[in-house]
């Protein structure tokens, strides 16, 4: 029988909460982590607000040997991965090392670290550039450090597809589980809120220049004028459903039931962007109809024409106001490689508790964005399946569908709010 | 002949702490002078990083090839000392 990839652990590092439960509580309450940029003085730059993780002390979560060797983005990845493993009750020492793998997404690599080293290069000279620059900046650094720390020596990798990357990573993780890998740490983080990183991001023309944290990022809303960047993300522990049952995993959040990725046609071609096709292919991959999806976590670009095209894609599949849509990333900003990973974590918690978190800030839908956008407050709902959609700058599209694991086939399923009686 | 010691293993410990961190399994208060960097959890990159820091802060030239041949804190501290004295 085909091995089925389920998610048994969630680790979160988000601007509005460190740890899955802190993040989830904040998200349900509509508590935002977006605020004025404090990491540096943004006075000379055209951006003012961001989703910074304010209260993160790397020394509390990351081995001191690794701190000077790695970028903040890797610190957040190591932290999330450890939290996810702890949540899964999975002790890496109990698994054969070549049967564990790490597949993460990265969008910027170690930008903040790199900026520090470039500053040393230009102000003091080449001999002041640290040896660790060689390993801290590159996209695979987080995957590598997680792999080394936990002794996971199976097929590891990194995916770079901007905001869509984490869904591609999860798709790869599912493939690894199917082909026999016992456990995969997957997801993504990003942390590029330094002048160098933000200047690079700003070149896409999509960053919000608003200084009002509550009105800077309004996807699908009247007044949408770009997105707010943030840092952080999530890591997930995936394993085969039967393996998880065999080791009595404490929680099974859901199954990775469908995944697909597409690429946009070249700019100016006049052809439809690839997002709808990614959603459609993910449904087909899951063997599901649109009617079986209970909520869509939108990409939510916050750029009017991109919002319109996403709304059109959703409505083409689900019908006008045919499915609840939400964008809790309005409380964190777009986290690039971490964004879709955090959305997946959010979708799994949404299924667990039967409540859809709100999209904050948006008071009035933009004309043409005719969506059932969950706003104002969280909405209780029976959620058996959730779709996460993501678009990465440069033409990447991906969609993942997670489903609640079959209660009949998994009587061992327990969640904090619905303890199993078996 | 007694040599003037101006750079000690304790001074080196401070460099190690700031530029390469400390392995959880290692107690820096112990006598680690003759424990190899490898056993202390420092790989070749960490040794290069420490050598570069010492070079920049003390003005002692430590070529990469030389750094690789200095297996313990005592060996590295002595290498620096000799060149400081000279």
Chain A residue with CA closest to B55: the answer is A127
Mutate to test the interface with A, among B49, B54, B61, B67 (most CBs of A within 10 A): B49
In A290-338, alpha helices (H): 304-318
**Cα distance between residue A85 and residue B30, in whole Å:** 33
Q: What percentage of chain A has pLDDT greater than the value 70?
A: 96
Beta bridge partners of A136: none
Residue A250: per-residue pLDDT: 97
Three-state SS for A270? coil
**Cα distance between residue A347 and residue A360, in whole Å:** 16
In the numeric block, the tokens 């609840």 are attached to A324
Residue-wise burial string across A64-87, b where 16 or more C-beta atoms lie within 10 A, e elsewhere: ebbbbbbbbbbbbbbbbbbbbbeb
**Cα distance between residue A6 and residue A348, in whole Å:** 11
**Cα distance between residue A190 and residue A390, in whole Å:** 15
- The verdict on a CB contact (< 8 Å) between A134 and B22 is no
- The verdict on a CB contact (< 8 Å) between B56 and A69 is no
CATH code of the domain in which B39 resides: 1.10.1200.10
Mean pLDDT of A233-239: 98
Distance from CA of B78 to the nearest CA of A (A): 22
Closest Cβ opposite residue B23 in set A65, A124, A132: A65
pLDDT in tens, A186-229: 999 999 999 999 999 999 999 999 999 999 999 999 999 999 99
Domain spans, chain A: 5-246, 259-403
10 Å CB burial of residue B55 (0-12, 13-18, 19+) is middle
Domain span at B62:
9-22+31-85
- The verdict on a CB contact (< 8 Å) between A66 and B21 is yes
**Cα distance between residue A399 and residue A337, in whole Å:** 14
Chain A residue with CA closest to B18: the answer is A68
Domain presence at residue B4 = no
Residue B5: per-residue pLDDT: 54
Instruction: List the pLDDT tens digit at each of the 86 positions of chain B.
Output: 444 458 899 999 988 888 888 887 888 888 999 999 999 988 888 898 999 989 988 989 999 888 888 999 999 999 999 888 76
Distance from CA of B17 to the nearest CA of A (A): 8
pLDDT in tens, A245-254: 999 999 999 9
Non-local (6+) Cβ contacts of A227 within 8 A are A206, A207, A208, A217, A219, A300, A301, A302, A303, A333, A334
**Which residues of chain B lie closer than 8 angstroms to A136, CB-CB?**
none
Domain presence at residue B2 = no
Provide the CATH number for the domain formed by A259-403 in this structure: 3.40.47.10
Global ipTM: 0.81
Domain presence at residue B72 = yes
**Which residues of chain B lie closer than 8 angstroms to A135, CB-CB?**
45
Domain presence at residue B73 = yes
Chain A residue with CA closest to B23: the answer is A65
CATH level 2 (architecture), domain A5-246: 3-Layer(aba) Sandwich (3.40)
- The verdict on a CB contact (< 8 Å) between A68 and B19 is yes
Non-local (6+) Cβ contacts of A70 within 8 A are A62, A78, A110, A113, A132, A136, A141, A142, A145
Domain presence at residue B79 = yes
Residue-wise burial string across A146-182, b where 16 or more C-beta atoms lie within 10 A, e elsewhere: bbebbebebbbbbbbbbbbbbbbbbbbbbbbbeeebb
pLDDT in tens, A63-97: 988 999 999 999 999 999 999 999 999 999 999 99
Three-state SS for A406? coil
Tokens of A17: 């909460």
Domain presence at residue B76 = yes
Residue A411: per-residue pLDDT: 40
Backbone φ and ψ of A260, nearest 5°: -155, 155
**Cα distance between residue A152 and residue B37, in whole Å:** 24
**Cα distance between residue A260 and residue A252, in whole Å:** 22
**Cα distance between residue B83 and residue A223, in whole Å:** 66
Total domains present in chain B? 1
Beta bridge partners of A105: A159, A188
- Closest C-alpha to A45, from A229, A305, A215, A223: A229
- Closest C-alpha to A401, from A281, A314, A263: A281
- Rounded to 10 deg, the angle between the A72-87 and A111-123 helix axes is 150
pLDDT averaged over every residue in chain A? 95
- The verdict on a CB contact (< 8 Å) between A68 and B48 is no
**Cα distance between residue A30 and residue A359, in whole Å:** 8
**Which residues of chain A lie closer than 8 angstroms to B20, CB-CB?**
65, 68-69
Domain presence at residue B41 = yes
**Which residues of chain A lie closer than 8 angstroms to B24, CB-CB?**
63-65
**Which residues of chain B lie closer than 8 angstroms to A65, CB-CB?**
20-24, 41
């Amino acid at each position: 029988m085909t091995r089925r990839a389920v998610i048994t652990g969630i680790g979160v590092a988000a601007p509005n909460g460190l740890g899955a439960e802190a993040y989830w509580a904040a998200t349900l309450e509509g508590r935002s982590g977006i605020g004025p940029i404090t990491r540096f003085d943004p006075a000379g730059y055209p951006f003012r607000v961001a989703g910074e993780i304010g209260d993160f002390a790397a020394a509390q979560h990351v081995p001191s040997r690794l701190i000077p060797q790695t970028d903040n983005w890797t610190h957040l990845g190591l932290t999330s991965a450890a939290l996810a493993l702890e949540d899964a009750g999975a002790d890496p020492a109990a698994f054969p090392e070549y049967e564990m793998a790490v597949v993460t997404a990265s969008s910027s690599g170690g930008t903040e670290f790199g900026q520090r080293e470039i500053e040393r290069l230009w102000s003091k000279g080449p001999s002041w550039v640290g040896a660790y620059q060689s390993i801290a900046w590159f996209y695979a650094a987080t995957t590598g450090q997680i792999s080394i720390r936990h002794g996971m020596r199976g097929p590891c990798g990194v995916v770079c597809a901007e905001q869509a990357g984490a869904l591609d990573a999860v798709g790869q993780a599912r493939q690894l589980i199917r082909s026999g890998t016992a456990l995969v740490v997957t997801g993504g983080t990003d942390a590029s809120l330094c002048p160098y990183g933000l200047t690079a991001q700003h070149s896409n023309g999509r960053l919000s220049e608003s200084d009002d944290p509550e009105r800077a990022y309004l996807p699908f809303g009247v007044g949408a004028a770009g997105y707010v960047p943030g840092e952080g993300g999530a890591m997930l522990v995936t394993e085969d459903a039967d393996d998880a049952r065999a080791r009595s995993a404490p929680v099974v959040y859901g199954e990775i039931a469908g995944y697909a990725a597409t690429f946009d046609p070249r700019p100016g071609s006049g052809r439809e962007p690839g997002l709808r096709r990614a959603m459609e292919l993910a449904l087909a991959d899951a063997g599901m109809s649109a009617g079986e999806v209970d909520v869509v976590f939108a990409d939510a670009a916050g750029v009017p024409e991109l919002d319109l095209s996403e709304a059109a894609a959703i409505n083409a599949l689900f019908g006008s106001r045919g499915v609840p849509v939400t964008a809790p990333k309005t409380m964190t900003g777009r986290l690039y490689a971490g964004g879709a990973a955090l959305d997946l974590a959010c979708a799994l918690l949404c299924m667990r508790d039967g409540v859809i978190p709100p999209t904050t800030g948006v008071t009035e839908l933009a004309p043409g964005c005719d969506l059932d956008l969950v706003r104002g407050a969280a909405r209780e709902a029976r959620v058996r399946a959730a779709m996460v959609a993501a678009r990465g700058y440069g033409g990447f599209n991906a969609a993942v569908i997670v489903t609640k694991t079959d209660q009949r086939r998994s009587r061992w399923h327990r969640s904090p709010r619905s303890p199993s009686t078996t | 002949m007694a040599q003037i010691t101006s750079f000690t293993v304790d001074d080196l410990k401070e460099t190690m702490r700031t530029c390469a961190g400390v392995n959880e399994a290692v107690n820096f208060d112990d006598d680690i002078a003759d424990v190899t960097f490898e056993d202390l959890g420092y790989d070749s990159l960490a040794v290069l990083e420490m050598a570069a820091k010492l070079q920049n802060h003390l003005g002692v030239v430590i070529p990469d090839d030389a750094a690789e041949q200095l297996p313990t804190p005592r060996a590295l501290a002595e290498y620096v000392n000799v060149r400081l004295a000279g």
